[in-house]
Each structure stands twice: as structure tokens, then as C-alpha cells.
Amino acid sequence: MVKSLCSCKSIGIAKLPVLPPRIIASGDVDFIVPRVLELTYTARDLRPFVHDMGYDGRPFPWDGERRALLRAELDAYYAALYGLTRDDLRYILDPADVYGPDFPGETFRALKEKEIKTYGEYRTRRLVLEAWDRLGLAPRNRDGRYEAK
């Protein structure tokens, strides 16, 4: 444990792949919070949490299709916040989609195989890229300064 803490301290928090809070603008919060709220508030036992977020309504019904769309929108939005282009996102979701089926690397193999078996397609890839296009996203923070928009 001590070695782990020392290792974390030596790399510095600034080097972790986490967006600094200062770059999250009010427009970002307006986009993110309702989606996170809908994804998380599905049972009454979370009422104190959502009350702290300013929500006083009923829990959201569990709708698998709706949840998949919300997750896809958040994935695409965060990719833009991290400065990824649409092609970067395509590569992360499925390198073979960018470099062809013989490309030796892969990501999210279990998810891809499960979705192809269940839906006949790699649904997450499609939904995330459709969300990127529908939302008209573009990379932000490409220069690494991570400034709020």
C-alpha cells in the first residue's frame, strides 16, 4: 500500500487521464447532468443523491434502449472534451474499422462479440458515432490546455 501511494505521488495528479474540473463549462454541465441523472436514478433509495442534484421527481424507468442512447451520447461528448476527433473515436471503438480486418490490435473485444451475438452488429460503436454526428461534436482541448468553452 505504501509503495502504491508513493508511486501515485511520484507521477503526479496532473498526469492522470482525468479532465480538470476547470474545463467543464455550464453548457457541459447542462448536457451531462440530466443524462447521468437518468442513468443513475432508477430506484427510490437514491433519492438523497438526486435531491442534492436539484431533482425532485420520480425515478426513471429502466429502458435498455434509452440507456444505450444516453451512454452513447455521454461517450461521444466526453471524447470531444478529451480532444478526440471522430476518427480517433472510431479507432478507439474498433481499430479494425479504421485499418481493416487484418489489423493486429483490438479494443473492447468482449463487448463487440456480445453485441454482434445479441444485436447482429457492434451496436455501441454505431450508437456512439451516430451520437457524435447528431450532436455536431468537434474535438475540444486539442492543444492540451483544457480550457472551458
Q: Residue 123 CA to chain centroid, in angstroms?
A: 15
* pLDDT per residue of the chain (149 residues) written in tens, 0 to 9: 444 444 455 555 556 678 888 888 889 999 999 999 999 999 999 999 999 989 999 999 999 999 999 999 999 999 999 999 999 999 999 999 999 989 998 899 999 999 999 999 999 999 999 999 999 999 987 666 655 55
DSSP 129-145: HHHHHHHT-----TTS-
What span, in angstroms and rounded, lies between the C-alpha atoms of 39 and 20? Answer: 23
The residue extents of the domains of the chain are: 23-135
Q: What is the DSSP letter of 94?
A: -
All three cell numbers of 110, joined, read 468482449
**Number of alpha helices (DSSP H) and beta strands (DSSP E) in the chain:** 8, 0
* pTM, entire model: 0.83
